[in-house]
Structure 1
């Protein structure tokens, strides 16, 4: 395989900072969720794919318990920690993600060595493309290799989820790390979040004459903030009132009865999850039977549900979605946890420029910051580069 640009520079930078060459270099991709939002922690279905934007780490094992970390972005500087005293309250900025992984591995009983680590990433931060999970997945595959721990993909998914939940403090599910660890070029990852069963589904937009555009609204979001946690609490309340283990167990035919048992807000939250699970299943069927040109209406319906029932959109996301559709996109929706971040627009290749220009003009006219618009394609999951 070809070595991505910048790997030589990353190796050289590592040596200049830490005084010796790294033991190896690893990368893990960000992800776009094609459809299936806030269904993962409800034990439902999701359909993400790994993207061609990655976090890369150069790592060397140390003979002591010291962890030294530096990134090529930001101004945090060289950070020190000790594997024997990992504390969520003391972790700062991006370092909480690798430290959370080390902590989660220790909780599994793995003897984690000290490390020198240099991070580089081109996954946009705060854009809903899972930049944090890309870091965590790059780190966990590196540590798994270096310690010969023999962790399976499922083990690494659960360890990074624990890092997010219990160290970082974000109540996320397993979708993001599953896509980053299990993705493949030209495929979306159809994931059953109840039993972690995975099926790779064809999603080759380029072969169908399409491009999937990401529209980064520049409205930053955080999964550790209250909005995400509140939605999860609503879902848990809905499941409890309806007497089911998780909202995965509620079907479309159950919604009429649910409307009489739940308060109006909780019912809307439940309705989103139930209908979104159905949309994921129908999207998989259409991709396997007819290809990506057939799924536009389902993307549109998903956005409407997130906007109106789950209430996690924002004016910038709504403007991006509506403008992209009117300019020629077959379907568009916000992607990620919500409250900002990015939208995606499934667009005929010959309409790409029209969609880009229309969205840019609309944001200017609304007085919003200029969005960052770029194509993504399904890419390989986490791997060792060198």
Structure 2
């Protein structure tokens, strides 16, 4: 088990037993892509795959982190953004963000193991941040309300690491509940737990990792965010969330730049699709969300321009062999596709996508079915 791996690495590195094990999941975003930093709506759920932090105490102001995926441990004291680099920056960033929020962070020895696929758009970074954050809060007895924790983890990623991500990933990793999707208003941070028991309907979410490279800390994600923020300023609204569907045509007519118009159209229609999906799930009409998922993908492909050939082919193939809906999930430019399928058809859909990839000469995909798991906590 992954928890045993984390504990074993801790014992090997630090010569003692950890004080405890803390877990946080990766996430799949069912629908609502790039809407989070536009203060809109998202609907993620937590993956069963988790990152584990085995943690023990250390002298005040001292932190050492090691992992199953890096040979050398990294030690640091009180740092400022940019002073720790590489994967350890996500851990140093959590320490910094907690301190910056006014908390006295305990020194700690930390060992990390993870089963969340790296670079796949399933938010391995938020799982790392959230497991460490939860551990340090518990270890230090810090009074950090649950609803405040995602913004601290997000600040670690935005300011310390330098990735301009929204609040979606950290909220999902920390606040999701088992068997539920998390309906999150990214302006108010209000959440609603939406029933999402696919097994009861004979359905499954098939996650298909395109195995195309996926990277946020490059210019493309930031360029999309800047375009949205510039458009909101030109339209005289705090964020694109404030443009409703029936105001969209008028808003687009007021923008001169065609690329900016496409970006705005994606965000406004995507927010509407999230709200429509929530309404259908409340009504128990799970299969009926399929066309909304597919429309979301078309919008990401044509208006937001964040898909690549591997994810487009996975979506097209899944639909062709019977998926109710399919879309890329995550920030884009690689990563994973999700498909809503009959549970007994998952293997058939997987085989069809593998065949389509082989014909194109792509790196073979990997696929698995997922259920909605719990958020971060102590094991």
**TM-score interval (norm. to shorter):** over 0.9
Distance in 1 separating the partners of 2:8 and 2:123: 27
In the other structure, the counterpart of 1:124 is 117
Determine helix, strand or coil for the equivalent of 1:89.
coil
2:288 pairs with 294, 299, 303, which one? 294
Q: For the residues of structure 1 that align with 2:347 and 2:211, how far apart are their CA atoms?
A: 20
Alignment-derived partner of residue 26 in structure 1: 22
| Aligned pairs for 1:58-77 within 5 A | 58-73=54-69, 75-77=70-72
Aligned to 2:107: 114
1:351 Cα deviation from its structure 2 partner:
1.5
Q: Per-residue displacement from partner, 1:146-180 (whole Å, max 9, x unpaired)?
A: 11111012221110111111001011111111111
Aligned: 1:305 with 2:318: no
> For residue 262 of structure 2, what is the aligned residue in structure 1?
268
Partner of 2:171: 178
Distance in structure 2 (CA, Å) of the matches to 1:188 and 1:35: 10
The CA distance in 2 between the partners of 1:68 and 1:274, in whole Å, is: 44
RMSD (Å), alpha carbons: 1.1
- Give the TM-score, by structure 1 length: 0.96
1:73-84, aligned counterparts within 5 Å? 73=69, 75-82=70-77, 84=78
* Structure 1 position 33, deviation (Å): 0.1
CA distance in 2, matches of 1:198, 1:236: 24
1:140 aligns with 2:136: no
Q: What's the offset of the Cα at 1:87? A: 3.9
- Take 1:7 and 1:72, find their aligned partners in 2: how far apart are those partners? 11
Instruction: Tell me which stretches of 4 or more aligned residues in structure 1 moved more than 6 Å.
Output: none
- Tell whether the 8 Å contact from 1:53 to 1:122 is kept in structure 2 after alignment: yes
> Could you give the per-residue CA deviations for residues 166-198 of structure 1, whole angstroms, max 9, x where no partner exists?
001011111111111111111000000010000
Q: Report how far residue 9 of structure 1 moved.
A: 4.3
Question: Could you tell me how far 1:65 is from its partner in structure 2?
Answer: 2.2
Deviation at 1:113, TM superposition (A): 2.6
**Equivalent residues in 2 for 1:1-386, closer than 5 Å:** 5-73=1-69, 75-82=70-77, 84=78, 86-262=79-255, 263-385=257-379
TM-score under structure 2 length normalisation: 0.97
Change (3 A) 1:120 1:366: same
- Contact (CA 8 Å) 2:2, 2:115: kept in 1 or not? no
TM superposition shift of 1:252: 1.1
Residues 112-148 of structure 1: per-residue CA shift (max 9 Å, x gap): 2321100000000110000000000001110110111
Instruction: Report the CA distance shift for 1:76/1:226 in structure 2 as closer, same or farther (over 3 A).
Output: farther
For structure 2, which runs of at least 5 residues remain unmatched after alignment? none
Displacement of 1:76 after TM fit? 4.3
Decide whether the 8 Å contact of 1:212 with 1:346 is kept in 2. Answer: yes
Please tell me whether the aligned partners of residues 324 and 345 of structure 1 are also in contact (alpha carbons under 8 angstroms). yes
Partners of 1:89 and 1:287 in 2: CA distance: 43
User: Does structure 1 conserve the Cα–Cα contact (< 8 Å) formed by 2:317 and 2:353?
Assistant: yes
Deviation at 1:13, TM superposition (A): 3.0
Deviation of 1:222 (Å): 1.7
Deviations 1:200-243 (A, max 9, x none): 00111111111101111111222211110000001001101111
The more displaced of 122-131 and 291-300 is 291-300
Structure 1 residues 67-117: Cα deviation after superposition (integer angstroms, max 9, x where no partner): 1111112x34111111x2x14434232211111100101111212232110
